[in-house]
Structure formats: C-alpha cells, structure tokens
C-alpha cells in the first residue's frame, strides 16, 4: 500500500461520524497517580489488566474508532496472549501510539514548557508501525496567566508540532496534533479565547511551512472554557459558541476531524459541550472526542482493581463511549445520564 493510501485509510476510519478516539496513553507516572487516587496498586500487570478491560468492552467498537496507547501497552498482550494492537484491529479499532517524550522547561521563559522527543522519531515510528500502530499523538502545552503563553512558547511549540506531523506523514502514520491550553488558573472564557486563537494560527502556519497535508491529520485541541479557579463559570452554550468561533477563524476546512481533549472537565461537562457544538448547524469538520479521564473515570473507580467488578466497569465505560458518540452527532440529552445503559 502506498503512503497516501495508508494515510487515507486511517483518516477515513478515525473521522467516522459518531465515533471517537479513546486516549489510553497515560504515562506510567500519570496512571500511577490516577490508580493511587482510587486505591489501585500500579504495577505492569494492573496497568495491563486495566487497559484490557477498556479495549475488550463488548460493543465499544460501535463508538470508538481508535485507541491511543502508551509504549508499554503497545507491547503488552491480552490474557489470551494476543498483542493489544492485534486485539484492537480484530475489533475494527485502530491502534495509535503516544510518541512525545514529555515536557521540559523552555529556555529563556518563565515556567513555560516545550515537548521533547523529535530525536530518533522516524526510527521509533517505523518500529511502532511494525507493531501495528496506524496513527500517533504529540502534545504541546500552554499555560494561561497574565504574561503567558509568550510569543516564544507559541511559536516554538507550533514548530515542534509541525515537525512531528511531517515526520509521521512521511512514515504513513496519521498525526494527532494536540495543542493543549491548560484549564488551570482563574482566567475567564474570554481570556481563553484570546489566547487560543493565536495558538491555533501559529500551529496551522507551521503545518503549512512544513508541507503537512491537512487532509491526513487529526486536530486535538482544548475547548474554549474558563479556568478551574475562575468565579465566572461559562455556560454550556457559551463554551460551544466560543470554541466553534475560534475554530472557524483558525482551522482550514481541509482538516477532516477535530477530536477534543477533555482537559480537566467532568465526564458530563465534556459530553454536554461536545453535543452543544454539534447542534450549532453546519461545520466544515467532523467534531468528536479523544478523551482520557472523561471516558475512563467511572470505569476506573468502578473496577477498583477487583476482578469481580470488571463487568460493571466495562458497563460504565460503554455508557460514556455511547453518550459521547451521541454528542458527536448532536443527539445527546442530559436525561440520558440517568438511564441505565447495558453494554452489548
């Protein structure tokens, strides 16, 4: 298969209306922290078991088009000895891989960060592809304060995201481009909108300079929302309208799908916001989800590391996947939160 044929096949599946992407690519320190918060011991085996619970939830392939894996998970197998990427492909779900190497201090800034991991990326991508990965993810992070993000952080992160995306496409791997504007802080939704627009402009200018084909990327942005510590809480409609307004100003129509991160929102909030956006009328792109905690939270708490809870945990994951699938089509209602959803 040619590179273009590979990219086309992958993006067509990832951009399927009503399907989203599960982010199950938490690094070992991150998932350890989440496990500890609900009383689960973090070991290679508990992490493997938990990811298997998510991936083998009956019926989830109706709502999930792809799963982003961490490197450890890419190399793990199910209880039956089947590699996770193969398990996903057998279910019609595409395996993806987080390829960045985390955040480091951006020199000559105050507390701003840059993402590392470009060195050796082509070789790593070739290895991941040989193990079944079809798409990749790279996250850049921007904090909002009175003087951040700086022009230096905006421009440098955009350049790195574009270099990563170009390297992915050269390997026949669809890049998820993730510029995350953090929800930490007391900023208003207006301030978030003012910051988000130049961030996304810079990202797309850099993608253009690096000759990245926009038809074969997934954009994974934050929603435009007030900071967690802000006293003025934006309504669901305000978040939806501000987010779509910024996307219309910055994201070319060539981008096939925008899959939001949930970034500190509750599961219910992230579903309601996505639904409201999809009710705003014609949009040039598919708007869907690529959530981690907003899909997994209830599942992890329900499982609590106990084998006897696996079925209930899978039911909790199935419900969130289904509700977000409906939100991606503008068909979700708050009443559905109270309804029992039995998984297939």
**What positions carry a catalytic annotation?**
178, 220
Cα distances from 271 to residues 20, 155, 223, 239, 319, in angstroms, run: 12, 31, 12, 12, 12
Cα four-point dihedral sign 148, 101, 256, 63: negative
Closest CA to 85 of 52, 62, 121: 52
Query: Rounded CA gap, 338 and 335, in Å?
Result: 6
Helix (H, G, I), strand (E, B) or coil at 44: helix
Query: Rounded CA gap, 208 and 106, in Å?
Result: 24
Residue 13's H or E segment, with its range, is helix 3-14
Query: Rounded CA gap, 292 and 261, in Å?
Result: 8
Query: Rounded CA gap, 303 and 321, in Å?
Result: 17
Structure tokens at 86: 């193969």
In this structure, the strands spanning 103-105 and 113-115 are: antiparallel
Structure tokens at 216: 């074969």
Structure tokens at 60: 């989830």
């Amino acid at each position: 298969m040619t590179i273009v044929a590979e990219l086309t096949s992958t993006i067509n599946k990832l951009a399927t209306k009503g399907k989203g992407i599960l982010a199950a690519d938490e690094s070992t320190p991150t998932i350890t922290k989440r496990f500890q918060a609900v009383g689960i011991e973090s070991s290679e085996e508990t992490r493997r078991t938990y990811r298997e619970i998510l991936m083998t939830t009956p019926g989830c392939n109706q709502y999930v088009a792809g799963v982003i894996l961490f490197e450890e998970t890419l190399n793990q197998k199910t209880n039956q000895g089947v590699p996770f990427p193969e398990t996903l492909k057998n279910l019609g779900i595409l395996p993806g891989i987080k390829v960045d190497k985390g955040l480091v201090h951006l020199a000559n800034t105050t507390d701003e960060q840059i993402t590392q991991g470009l060195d050796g990326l082509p070789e790593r991508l070739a290895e991941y592809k040989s193990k079944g990965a079809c798409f990749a993810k790279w996250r850049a992070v921007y904090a909002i304060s009175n003087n951040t993000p700086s022009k230096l952080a905006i421009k440098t992160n955009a350049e790195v995201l574009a270099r990563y995306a170009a390297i992915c496409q050269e390997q026949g791997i669809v890049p998820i481009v993730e510029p995350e504007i953090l929800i930490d802080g007391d900023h208003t939704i207006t301030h978030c909108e003012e910051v988000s627009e130049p961030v996304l402009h810079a990202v797309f200018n850099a993608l253009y300079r690096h000759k990245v084909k926009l038809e074969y990327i997934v954009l994974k942005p934050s929603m435009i929302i007030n900071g967690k510590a802000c006293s003025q809480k934006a309504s669901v409609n305000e978040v939806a309208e501000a987010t779509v307004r910024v996307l219309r100003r910055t994201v070319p129509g060539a981008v096939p799908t925008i899959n939001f991160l949930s970034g500190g929102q509750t599961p219910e909030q992230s579903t309601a916001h996505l639904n409201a956006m999809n009710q705003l009328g014609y949009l040039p792109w598919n708007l869907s989800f690529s959530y981690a905690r907003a899909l997994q939270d209830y599942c992890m708490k329900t499982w609590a590391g106990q084998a006897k809870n696996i079925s209930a945990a899978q039911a909790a994951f199935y419900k969130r996947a289904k509700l977000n699938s409906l939100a991606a089509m503008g068909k979700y209602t708050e009443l559905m939160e109270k309804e029992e959803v039995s998984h297939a």
